[in-house]
Chains A and B, each alone.
Chain A
Amino acid sequence: MKRHRNALLLLIVVLLAALPLWLVKAPVPTDASPPSDIFTGTDDKARALISQISPDYKPWFTPLLQPASSEIASLLFALQAALGAGFIGYYLGVSLNREKQQRINQQKSGKQSDAD
């Protein structure tokens, strides 16, 4: 039952991520405006709003290191996710093993106390 519940929760997460791809329609591009992007990052939207509120503001510092291309950026994002997920998986594997070992030890000691 618990396992089904987790699977259900994960399914809802996947749906929450996938549904917008169908439900949100890209704004119809007009001749005047450049083709509008959909699902851009919120930071870019915030930057656009900043330049709308105070057009004179100039960023006074630029990132030291820019990913060379969007491909490199997704590589680094994937690396970040892989590092995190890898560690969580490792931890769960270790925990599973430890639990198994404990159960075996308990059975052994149980048998021994029976023998005494």
Chain B
Amino acid sequence: MHIMEGFLPFEHAIGWSLASAPFIGWGLLALGKRIRDKPEQRMLIGVAAAFAFVLSALKLPSLSGSSSHPTGTGLGALLFGPVAMAPIGTVVLLFQALLLAHGGLTTLGANVFSMAIVGPLVASMTFRMMRWLHCSFSVSVFCAAALADLFTYLTTSVQLALAFPDSVSGFSGALVKFSSIFAITQIPLAISEGLLSIVIFNALARFNPQELRDMAVLPAKRSGA
């Protein structure tokens, strides 16, 4: 998943790690504050992490002939804001990097940036915009989760194209090539992720309507962007 161990030049690996670090720190502070203020939400934070765990373990075949997996970060971003997903996504990525040789430690910064920062940010912004445009809750959830998934892999393509520009067509040529691998495979998977996110939101709304009303439907106090 994402960029494999050792497959980013040293400077890029350092650069993406430095770019991701402040978000992880900010996210840890935000999560800590939330657990202190609302300890009853601890379980729901666990659910957001568990959802990302399940979805990033599902390697699905795609119409492009290769397989990849969804990311599951959209749900948590809608519940707890995009910043909170930075540390949660990092845990998922660390699990896969350490135990499964999937992703990597040197590429962790870059993978955190695409999956745990850009994806959740896209999810939150999409959701807020669609709710503001009076789209239905389910449609907004679907688009937020699906676009978060897609933008995660587009970011990966950008990262790889920056590191390995094509000798003839440069950055843009490489971007087209990398995104034709990642993004095209990801389109049906993004749709799956959007649908699964609706299902889990339905389940959460069925049992915890008040909690959800407090958190997701009402706009958050602070913008994550």
Mark A residues whose CB is within 8 Å of B: 2, 5-6, 9-10, 12-13, 16-17, 19-21, 23-24, 38-43, 45-47, 49-50, 53-54, 57, 59-67, 73, 76-78, 80-81, 83-88, 91-92, 94-96, 98-99
Contact = CB atoms under 8 A, between A and B. Distances in A.
B57 interface: yes
Nearest to B182: A42
Interface string B48-83: 011111111111111111111000000000000000
Contacts, number: 172
Given A42-B185, A81-B57, 12 more contacts: A9-B198, A17-B60, A40-B66, A41-B66, A59-B5, A64-B98, A67-B99, A80-B54, A81-B54, A84-B52, A84-B57, A95-B207
Interface size class of B (residues with CB under 8 A): 35 or more
B3 interface: yes
B61 A39 contact: yes
Tell me what chain A mostly uses at the interface: helix, strand, loop, or mixed: helix
B174 interface: yes
B103 to A, nearest CB: 8
B160 interface: yes
